[in-house]
Chains A and B, each alone.
Chain A
Amino acid sequence: DQQVKQNSPSLSVQEGRISILNCDYTNSMFDYFLWYKKYPAEGPTFLISISSIKDKNEDGRFTVFLNKSAKHLSLHIVPSQPGDSAVYFCAASGRPTGANNLFFGTGTRLTVIP
């Protein structure tokens, strides 16, 4: 059973506009959420995270929003750049430490059009 879901397999956005990637989860015990970015032939690279005690975390062009009641989080990238084109994975964990099992979504392929 997929506990973390990314229902949009792909997203195309014009350069300079906002990219919004969505993620839903089913397990209310998840307390920590991460976004990873993956380029072809490379492993996922950590991008940004958020703890369940927050509803927003911002790092430069990247902002993650968490809506616990809806079990939904989103990643906003603004302004989008062609170099942001990659597959983005949402992940969730039961505790806010690295040493815990991460449950991953299936990924969303973002294409930023110049």
Chain B
Amino acid sequence: GAVVSQHPSRVICKSGTSVKIECRSLDFQATTMFWYRQFPKQSLMLMATSNEGSKATYEQGVEKDKFLINHASLTLSTLTVTSAHPEDSSFYICSAIGDLNQPQHFGDGTRLSIL
């Protein structure tokens, strides 16, 4: 089946640090990747959608200068949380699709903790 790998699984860092999270599709080419965020006791919320080779589309309320998304190849998308602050602490998870008629396949997520 389709496998999506996300790295790192957990990050703890100081306020002001920039953090990069990678999302890779291991056995298929991902035409579209999605980045979600989940706060405690809340549902997964879409942050942005990225298509290979083009700029990401951000959901309302998500700062594109804060959350930089790069989808440089058909197997890799990165999310960089720039100058992270404690309020950015959350669970970030990516998903990917290769075929528009298939459901999204998710990575295992990244737990980000900003001190």
- Residues on A lying within 8 angstroms of B by beta carbon are 2, 4, 34, 36, 41-46, 49, 89, 96-99, 101-107
- Quick check: B108 and A41 within 8 Å, CB to CB? yes
Contacts of A44 in B (CB 8 A): 44, 93, 106
Among residues 46 to 105 in chain B, which have CB atoms less than 8 Å away from a CB atom of chain A? 46, 49, 59, 93, 95, 97, 99-105
Return the CB mask of B35-47 against A: 1 if under 8 Å, else 0. 0100001111110
**By CB atoms of chain B within 10 A, which of A2, A45, A101 has the most?**
A101
- Could you say which of A46, A99, A101, A104 contacts B43, with CB atoms under 8 Å apart? A104
Contacts of B34 in A (CB 8 A): 101-102
- Quick check: B104 and A43 within 8 Å, CB to CB? no
- Could you say which of A43, A96, A105, A107 contacts B106, with CB atoms under 8 Å apart? A43
B112 sits at the interface (CB 8 A): no
Contacts of B43 in A (CB 8 A): 2, 4, 89, 103-107
- Quick check: B106 and A45 within 8 Å, CB to CB? yes
- Residues on B lying within 8 angstroms of A by beta carbon are 4, 6, 9, 31-32, 34, 36, 41-46, 49, 59, 93, 95, 97, 99-109
- Could you say which of A4, A43, A104 contacts B107, with CB atoms under 8 Å apart? A43
Contacts of B9 in A (CB 8 A): 41
A97 to B34, CA, bound (A): 14
- Quick check: A99 and B41 within 8 Å, CB to CB? no
Query: What are 6 A-B contacts with C-beta separation under 8 Å?
Result: A34-B103, A44-B44, A46-B103, A98-B102, A101-B49, A101-B59
4 more A-B contacts (CB under 8 A) besides A97-B101, A99-B97? A98-B32, A98-B102, A104-B44, A104-B45
